[in-house]
Structure 1
Amino acid sequence: MKALVNAPGTDEFVRLTDVHEPTAGPHDALIRVHASSLNRGELRLLATRPAGWRPGQDIAGVVEKAAEDGSGPSVGTRVVALADDSGWAELVAVDTDRIAVLDDRVSFGDAATLPIAGTTALRTLRLGGSLLGKRVLVTGAAGGVGRYQVQLAALQGARVTAVASDKHEKVLLKLGAAEVVSSPAAAEGTFDLITESVGGESLSEAIGRVAPHGLIVVFGLSSGKATPFAFRDFAPGHENARIQIFMSYASGPDFGADLKVLSDLVADGSLTAQVGLEVPWTELATAAQSLSARGVDGKAVLQIV
């Protein structure tokens, strides 16, 4: 079968080549991949992982071989799944706990945006508890995770303030944001929950906007900048607020259950997948460059053909 493998030091940086078919464990289903989405974290890993490493976590496709232990979906079932890696390939083996059956109303391209971005959005918001009537601030709201956070928080009854540039205001308001501001400091009042993915000045400003007993969930550092802060930054007005670090890979099991929740919301129209670019996997380099340069308005998706 064919797969994209890491090729550091080359102009392509990945290479489409023939590889052995994956060996599925007893609890794994073998999936024929139809679509996979790109994550900036995966692109950064390409620079540090050895030649031959096979990236790809977000996949959607059809079960080619069911798990030997009887768990998971049967052959021919449309699915969305979160792989550990090796998803930019024609076939991938995935633990059935990380697989969800996909409704026929959801395209493979839309489904492929859910595994990392969707589950990160869902799980970071859960850390804030019940959001009904609460104020939520989402930094990096124009990104793949941020767009899902805006929608999911609004669906739960929160009043959402999105932090993004003016050019994204119209789409974020349509997705459920009550307002769009240029920075946390530009937002009015304080917030019960802040999701923070930028770091640097953005996180410093977020501390100034968190409500007493509120929560800042930090899940990224897109600015690449450190954030110095001190105990006194939390008083007065932010007493007993918390900062919590979120790492997707350490956020618990049952990714399959969360993928089912998300894909069903897409199926009934409650949640909109934000696909900004969809290209054949032979054009990965173009898609990666656009994503790295923030030239993709939403998620970039590869068609595995």
Structure 2
Amino acid sequence: MKALIPTGQAGELVAFGTAEVPEPAGGQALIKVEAFSINRGEIFKLAGGTGWLPGKDIAGTVVRAAADGSGPREGQRVVAHVPAAGWAEYAVAGTGSIAALPAHVDAVTAAALPLAGITALRLLRAAGSIAGRRVLITGASGGVGHYFVELAAAAGAEITAVSATPERGHRLMELGAEAVVSDPGAASGPFDVVLESVGGRSLPAALAKLAPHGTLLWFGQASREPVTLDFFDFFAGPEGATLRHFHYDDAFEARPFGPDLATLVQLTGDGRLHPEIGRITDWADTATVLNDLRERRITGNAVLTLTSP
């Protein structure tokens, strides 16, 4: 089968190669991939030259159901979140990480859901009861930010989003943000919950906006810049504040991805969640899309579609 293979070259991170069609284990289904999306974390892994086979978010059709009888049947259209190797004509996925797709949710839309959508959904849970509370989210122009803003607004939160450009900020307002600023220092605090995903100078600036007994959830470092945090400032700041690291698949959320994927699919199908897809193109353009995502020339998700062999 055709698959995208890391090259180790900065200007062209992946290229087409060949690989064996994977053999599913007992609790895995074999999926014919129709579309996949790219996450920024995958770009960093590829740039690091780890030899890791890329591809975590896929949508397609089950061509071989799991041998243990679990999960979707053969011929079922699905979306899945896999550990790796999803940028290929076929991929295997554990049945606990798969959700069935209704006829009115297409593969392109579904492929944009897994990692960003699951992260946003689990961030919402980690933030606790947010109805009527003030929330600040940095790095809101990415896939996670768009999903979180829409989900949190529907839950009754008053959201201030940090976005670098007015154009991207306008979309966040449409999704339910009360205000959009270009820098966390410009936000009108204090905030009960702060979600920080940029790192560098952004984290201490966002932390300074936290209300007494508030919570800051640190879930990313998109800037790739180290954080310098003066804990004397922290201790002199909001009384009883909590600073917590969050990862979408950590022990706090020790549960399979499938149920969350099913929730995201249902919300999307009902018109209550709107994946923000900044580019849709053939998977032959993957190397170019990776470069454009790295340089922030794409808003939201990028989805690549597979042509028939």
User: Normalising by the residue count of structure 2, what TM-score does the alignment of the two structures yield?
Assistant: 0.94
CA shift, 1:188, in A, is: 1.2
* Pair 1:224 & 2:221 matched: no
Q: Specify the alignment match of 2:181 in structure 1.
A: 181
Q: Specify the alignment match of 1:293 in structure 2.
A: 295
Partner-residue secondary structure (3-state), 1:253: coil
Aligned residue identity for 1:152: L
Partner-residue secondary structure (3-state), 2:275: coil
* Pair 1:158 & 2:153 matched: no
Structure 2: distance between partners of 1:37 and 1:215: 31
* Pair 1:240 & 2:240 matched: yes
Return closer, same or farther for 1:62/1:187 CA change in 2, 3 Å cut-off: same
Q: Specify the alignment match of 2:54 in structure 1.
A: 55
Q: Specify the alignment match of 1:19 in structure 2.
A: 19
CA shift, 1:67, in A, is: 0.6
Structure 2: distance between partners of 1:233 and 1:12: 43
Q: Specify the alignment match of 1:129 in structure 2.
A: 128
Partner-residue secondary structure (3-state), 1:232: helix
* Pair 1:270 & 2:272 matched: yes
Structure 2: distance between partners of 1:9 and 1:163: 33
Q: Specify the alignment match of 1:211 in structure 2.
A: 211
Partner-residue secondary structure (3-state), 2:127: coil
Return closer, same or farther for 1:233/1:296 CA change in 2, 3 Å cut-off: same
CA shift, 1:297, in A, is: 1.8
CA shift, 1:237, in A, is: 5.2
CA shift, 1:25, in A, is: 0.6
Conserved in 2, the CA contact under 8 Å of 1:88 and 1:304? Answer: no
Q: Specify the alignment match of 1:107 in structure 2.
A: 106
Partner-residue secondary structure (3-state), 1:146: helix
Conserved in 2, the CA contact under 8 Å of 1:66 and 1:74? Answer: yes
Aligned residue identity for 1:280: D
Conserved in 2, the CA contact under 8 Å of 1:207 and 1:233? Answer: no
Partner-residue secondary structure (3-state), 1:225: coil
Which segment is superposed worse, 16-25 or 79-88? 16-25
Pairwise mapping of residues 21-170 of structure 1 onto structure 2 (< 5 A)? Answer: 21-51=21-51, 53-165=52-164, 166-170=166-170
The share of aligned pairs that are identical, in percent, is: 45
Structure 2: distance between partners of 1:10 and 1:17: 18
Partner-residue secondary structure (3-state), 1:127: helix
Conserved in 2, the CA contact under 8 Å of 1:276 and 1:296? Answer: yes
Give the number of aligned pairs. Answer: 304
Which segment is superposed worse, 152-161 or 181-190? 181-190
User: Normalising by the residue count of structure 1, what TM-score does the alignment of the two structures yield?
Assistant: 0.95
Q: Specify the alignment match of 2:261 in structure 1.
A: 259
CA shift, 1:13, in A, is: 2.9
Partner-residue secondary structure (3-state), 1:106: coil
Structure 2: distance between partners of 1:93 and 1:115: 15
Partner-residue secondary structure (3-state), 2:58: strand
Return closer, same or farther for 1:50/1:229 CA change in 2, 3 Å cut-off: closer
RMSD in angstroms over aligned alpha carbons? 1.5
Structure 1: distance between partners of 2:21 and 2:287: 24
Unaligned runs of 5+ in 2: none
Conserved in 2, the CA contact under 8 Å of 1:198 and 1:222? Answer: yes
Structure 2: distance between partners of 1:287 and 1:100: 26
Partner-residue secondary structure (3-state), 1:122: helix
CA shift, 1:235, in A, is: 5.0
Aligned residue identity for 1:143: G
Structure 2: distance between partners of 1:75 and 1:184: 48
Structure 2: distance between partners of 1:50 and 1:293: 21
Structure 1: distance between partners of 2:229 and 2:14: 40
